[in-house]
Amino acid sequence: MERKVVYFEIPGKENTDACLQIVKDAIRDFRYKHIIVASTGGYCGKLFSEALKGSGINLAIVTHCAGFKEPNTSELSAEMRQSIIADGAKVYTGTMITHSLETAFASKFNGVYPALIVAQTLRMFGQGTKVCCEMVMMAADAGLIPEGEDILAVAGTGRGADTVLVIKSAVSKRFLDLRVLEVLAKPRG
């Protein structure tokens, strides 16, 4: 099998439109049915939900958990959430698997814990890679995507999208069954 991989010179939001085109091409060429997109404030979520509206694709937008930035706040406004849902996408806000209880323990006791080691190891391949793996498990845990299927996952570094992966989904309980099958795009820098 041969596939094209796009390597972006620098990470960041300026790669978002290219990632959307890569996803559209992958859907057309390989008939993916499930797409997961990371979106903090809604920019990527809305871009992808508008572009895939009416396509029959199971699109799930995964946000930061509530309180991520500061207590009692959500970075995705209620209006943006409703707009994305109106386009036919699902929006999931829940516990971030590699950024939950262990982060609290690490902050309090200055230790290193398994989920933090996993997160740092995945970041060696790029921030977007870590986020893609994490949110596929989150979406599978929530029942938004099936387990054991090829999923297109889109995430980025900071804001926007710069990473597109094909991942065989697994719930977090079966994390070691999750597989990154293909890299369609990622930043080099």
Residues of the chain with pLDDT > 90, as a percent, come to: 76
Q: Token pair of 53, please? A: 């509206």
Q: Report the DSSP beta bridge partners of residue 179.
A: 168
SS3 (DSSP) at 186: strand
pLDDT digits (tens, 9 = 90+) for 136-178: 999 999 999 999 999 999 999 988 999 999 999 999 999 999 9
Cα separation, 75 vs 159, in Å, equals 12
Q: Report the DSSP beta bridge partners of residue 183.
A: 165
Cα separation, 168 vs 173, in Å, equals 14
Residue 176: predicted pLDDT = 95
Under the phi-then-psi rule, with left for phi > 0, alpha for psi from -120 to 50, and beta for the rest, what region is 158? Answer: left
Cα separation, 19 vs 34, in Å, equals 16
Asked whether residue 95 carries a pLDDT value surpassing 90, the answer given is no
Residue 74: predicted pLDDT = 85
Q: Which domains does the chain have, with CATH numbers?
A: 6-98+126-183 (3.40.1380.20)
Residue type at position 79: E
pTM of structure: 0.92
CB atoms within 10 A of CB 90: 17
Task: Name the pLDDT band for 88 (thresholds 50, 70, 90).
Answer: very high
Task: Name the pLDDT band for 133 (thresholds 50, 70, 90).
Answer: very high
pLDDT digits (tens, 9 = 90+) for 1-33: 889 999 999 999 999 999 999 999 999 999 999
Residue 68: predicted pLDDT = 79
Cα separation, 66 vs 95, in Å, equals 8
Residue 66: predicted pLDDT = 79
Q: Are 22 and 32 in contact (CB under 8 A)?
A: no
Task: Name the pLDDT band for 85 (thresholds 50, 70, 90).
Answer: very high
- The candidate with the shortest Cα–Cα distance to 115, out of 96, 135, 132, 128, is 96
